[in-house]
Amino acid sequence: MMRKLLVAIPYGWLLVLFLVPFLIVLKISLSDLAIAIPPYT
């Protein structure tokens, strides 16, 4: 049991770090576009 956990932890981190960019792109693509609002004040 302990050996499986020690092997699964790095693979879990790799999976998380692999999926984060896709989640960011998904969040951007699903967000509402603010039209005619400049990004500066």
pLDDT tens string 1-41:
899 999 999 999 999 999 999 999 999 888 877 676 777 76
C-alpha to C-alpha distance for 16 and 35, rounded to whole angstroms: 33
Tell me which DSSP letter residue 41 carries. Answer: -
Tokens of 28: 């951007």
Cα–Cα nearest to 19, from 8, 27, 30:
27
C-alpha to C-alpha distance for 28 and 2, rounded to whole angstroms: 39
Tokens of 13: 């981190």
pTM, two decimal places: 0.55
Query: Would you state the pLDDT for residue 14?
Result: 97
Residue with tokens 């990004």: 39
